[in-house]
Structure 1
Amino acid sequence: MSDGLELLAFAGVMALGQFSPGPDMLLLTRTALAEGVGNGVRMALGIGTGLAVHASLGIWGTAALLEREGWLRTSLKWLAAAYLLWLAWGLLMQWFVHFYSGSKTVEPKPPGKRSAYLRGLFCNLLNPKALFFLAAVVAPFLAGDRPSWWPMALWLVIVLQGWLLWSLWAAVLQWRPIREGHRKAGPWIDGAFGVTLAVLAVLLVI
């Protein structure tokens, strides 16, 4: 198989992995719905920055250190779980306020631009599963005799594809029927997202 076809195959595997259900997908979906495409794209850039770090570690071998040093992996898992629980708490509190205030629609005050980027960055960066997934996917594509530019090509596929696909997803969620549905049922959607994030935090630890 030529290098070009192998890169396409790698991009396909990565696209499937990045769009599998998880904290990144959940948080970006809620942000794009509640805060608009601008903050959705900023969050996508934050997730992409986290992917850049994980891709660097996975491609150039540092993932093996986390595999050997159990305490480091455990610490990252607890940090990630705590962050997801903090996000879940914020969403559940919004649901609580809207539910008991009797409000039927949602008119949220969007957080700052930096906030959306940082939430995406930390959500991805603190998830050790993202690093191990990347390390596992990259390993077969690094085997054999490869040109010197090959690792950087894999890194660029991961990062650029991540930024592009997540940003497109944020844009798709601006479709008017989806936005209207969220505007009407926003508090319940926030509550569902909050519960799901809390469950993901528990599953991450156990």
Structure 2
Amino acid sequence: MSIPLELLAFAGVLALGQFSPGPDMLLLTRTALRDGARNGVVMAWGIATGLSLHAALAIGGMAVVFERVAWLRDGMRWVAAGYLAWLGYRMIVEWFVHVYSGARYDELKPTTSKSAFVQGLLCNLLNPKVVVFLAAVVAPFLAGDRPAWWPWALWAIIVFEGLTLWALWALVLQIKSIREGYRRAGPWITLGFGLVLLGLAVMLLVR
């Protein structure tokens, strides 16, 4: 297979993993729907920043060490589960405030751009499964005789594709019909997202 086709195949595998259900996609979807395109794109930058570190670890071989050092892996799982549980709790509280206070949902205080970036960064950075997934995807593409720039190309594809596709997703969610549907069902979507995040937190601990 030629180098361009290999890089294209690598990008395709990454895209499939990126759009599988997970904390990053869930949090980004909710933020883009609730707070608009700007905060959605800013959160995409935060996620991609965390992804840049995970990609470096995966390509550099540190993912193997991370997977084998049980206390480090387990510690990260507990921290990630705690963070996801906190995000889920906040969403459920937001739903409760709306339902029982009578406040209009579109008047609730939006997430700031700084907070959106930090939330995206921590959501990705604290998830120990990201580096393990990337290591599994990268390994076959590092095998064999490769030019010196090859690992850098894989790293750049991971970060650039992550940022671009997540940012585009945030923009797609601004389509008028989608936004109108969210305004009608926003509180219940937020409640659902909060419960799913709590479920993901539990799954991190029981696996």
Place the TM-score, normalised by the shorter chain, in its bin: over 0.9
> 1:147 is matched with which residue?
147
Mapping of residues 3-152 of structure 1, within 5 Å: 3-103=3-103, 105-152=105-152
Tell me the SS of whatever aligns to 2:106: coil
> Quick one: distance in 2 between partners of 1:150 and 1:15?
19
Q: CA shift at 1:103, angstroms?
A: 4.3
**Number of the residue aligned with 1:187:** 187
Q: Report the count of equivalent residues.
A: 206
RMSD across aligned C-alpha pairs, in angstroms? 0.9
Deviation of 1:128 after TM superposition, in Å, equals 0.5
Give identity over the alignment, percent: 63
Matched to 2:10, the amino acid is F
Amino acid at match of 1:158: I
Superposition deviation, residue 110 in structure 1: 1.6
Q: Is the 8 A contact 1:45 1:117 kept in 2?
A: yes
Deviations 1:101-142 (A, max 9, x none): 234643232222110000000000000011100000000000
Task: With the length of structure 2 as denominator, give the TM-score of the two structures.
Answer: 0.97
Distance 1:174 1:54 in 2: 29
Query: Which string of whole-angstrom CA distances, capped at 9 and with x for unpartnered residues, describes residues 86-111 of structure 1?
Result: 00011000000111123464323222
1:33 & 1:97 partners in 2: Cα distance?
Answer: 18
Q: TM-score, normalised by structure 1?
A: 0.98
